[in-house]
Amino acid sequence: METTNDYKFFPTFGDSFGTGWRVMMNNFLRLLLVVFVLAILTGPMNGLNFKFDGGDFNRLFRHWDGNWEQLFGLASIGALAVFIGLIALAYVFLALPVVRYGGKMIFLEAVRNVKPDFEWLIRGFWTNYLNIILANLLVVALVVLGLFALIVPGIIIACRLAFVPYIVMDKKLDPIESVELSWKYTRGHGWTIFLMGFVSFFIYIFGLMLLIVGIFPATMWVKSAFASLYQSVLLQREKPEEVVSA
């Protein structure tokens, strides 16, 4: 694995955000393009929120004049809504994870001082597709189960599995191995990950306050910071002697 001494690699809150800032500034246009693409690909999901009002059905039946075309029309609308819902669900679980995981790998390459390869955004479809989809489903299932168990366990699980996307893309391990390795690597760093996630929320809010467009550099900074943390922990675990600053 290629590493670089151009950035600090200490698995701490301050160093992760500090290195993330430098990575963002050194690769600003490339990472900005990645964030734009991710925003475009995830944006359509916001338009697929169908809200059905029970009052609509009541009004329909109150004005039903015995014309069965009205009923068939309602059935057609319902069938269309179900179809679009299934398409949206398939997109969320069968396509979007590949793009998101690929985006994380691009930020990791930037942290490693490697020229980011935009092909990572789609490469997972033909190189590592099944592992990405299954790993994402496993993480979602574990976090949801944890959230049902009084919320706190879900937060803990989410923090401990934060490295799964990087591990799947970087080491190409299967879902179970990726989850186990993330749990191992994040041991002792759970509070750091939680604090970074907590602060990231306010970074996003501040970005939105800057005429909305500030959300893009905010996202770049946060993603670079988490990629830096993963790289720092990876070096600490595998090559402790390389966890140094330039």
Q: Quick one: which of 134, 153, 135 has its CA closest to 144?
A: 153
pLDDT of 211 reads: 77
Query: How far is Cα 34 from Cα 40, in angstroms, rounded to an integer?
Result: 10
Query: How far is Cα 144 from Cα 154, in angstroms, rounded to an integer?
Result: 6
pLDDT of 58 reads: 56
5 vs 23 pLDDT, higher one: 23
Q: How many CB atoms lie within 10 A of CB 50?
A: 11
pLDDT of 190 reads: 96
pLDDT digits (tens, 9 = 90+) for 60-108: 555 555 555 555 655 667 677 777 878 888 888 999 999 999 999 999 9
pLDDT of 88 reads: 82
Q: Which residues contact 74 (CB under 8 A, 6 or more apart)?
A: 57, 60
pLDDT of 3 reads: 44
pTM for this model (two decimals) = 0.84
How would DSSP label each residue in 152-174? HHHHHHHHHTTTHHHHHHHH---
pLDDT of 60 reads: 52
Give mean pLDDT, residues 210-219. 90
Give mean pLDDT, residues 111-137. 94
Query: How far is Cα 184 from Cα 59, in angstroms, rounded to an integer?
Result: 57
pLDDT digits (tens, 9 = 90+) for 24-72: 999 999 999 999 999 988 765 554 444 545 455 555 555 555 555 555 6
Q: How many CB atoms lie within 10 A of CB 226?
A: 25
Q: Where are the alpha helices (DSSP H) in the chain?
A: 13-26, 28-42, 54-62, 68-94, 96-111, 120-127, 129-148, 152-160, 164-171, 175-185, 190-209, 215-238
pLDDT digits (tens, 9 = 90+) for 132-148: 999 999 999 999 999 99
Query: How far is Cα 12 from Cα 171, in angstroms, rounded to an integer?
Result: 23
- All structural domains of the chain with their residue ranges: 13-47+92-241
